[in-house]
Amino acid sequence: MNITVVGTGYVGLVSGTCFAESGNEVICVDIDQDRIEALQAGRVPIYEPGLEELVRRNVKEGRLSFTTDLSAAIEMSMVSFIAVGTPMSVNGAANLSGVMRAAEDVARAARGYHVLAVKSTVPVGTNDRVREVVARAAKHRIDVCSVPEFLKEGSAIEDFMRPDRIVIGSTSEQATAILRELHAAFLRTDNPVIVIDPKSAELTKYASNAMLAMRISFINEMASLCEAVGAEISDVRRGMGADKRIGSQFLFPGVGYGGSCFPKDVQALIFSAAEHGLDFSLLRAAEQVNARQKRWMAGRVREHFGADLKGRTLALWGLAFKPRTDDMREAPSLTVIEELLAAGARVRAHDPEAIENARRIFGDRVSFHANNYEALAGSDALIILTEWNEFRHPNFQRIRTMLTSPVIFDGRNLYDPALMKALEFRYYSIGRTPV
Residues acting as catalytic residues: 261
15: nearest Cα among 121, 114, 107, 149: 149
Closest contact distance (angstroms) between CB of 95 and ligand NAD is 10
**195/179 Cα distance (integer angstroms):** 10
The smaller minimum CB distance to ligand NAD, of residues 67 and 200, is found at 67
The smaller minimum CB distance to ligand NAD, of residues 95 and 367, is found at 95
- Find all residues with CB under 8 Å of 196, minimum gap 6, and list them: 167, 168, 169, 204
Taking the mean position of all CA atoms in its chain, how far away is CA 204? 17
Closest contact distance (angstroms) between CB of 351 and ligand NAD is 18
The smaller minimum CB distance to ligand NAD, of residues 34 and 190, is found at 34
Taking CB atoms, the residue at the shortest distance from ligand NAD is 9
Closest contact distance (angstroms) between CB of 149 and ligand NAD is 4
Count the Cβ atoms, other than its own, within 10 Å of residue 71.
Answer: 14
| Chain contacts with ligand NAD (rule: CB under 6 A) | 6-12, 29-32, 35, 83-86, 98, 101-102, 120-121, 149, 151, 153, 260-261
Closest contact distance (angstroms) between CB of 82 and ligand NAD is 8
Closest contact distance (angstroms) between CB of 124 and ligand NAD is 14
Closest contact distance (angstroms) between CB of 411 and ligand NAD is 21
The smaller minimum CB distance to ligand NAD, of residues 12 and 352, is found at 12
The smaller minimum CB distance to ligand NAD, of residues 6 and 354, is found at 6
The smaller minimum CB distance to ligand NAD, of residues 200 and 208, is found at 208
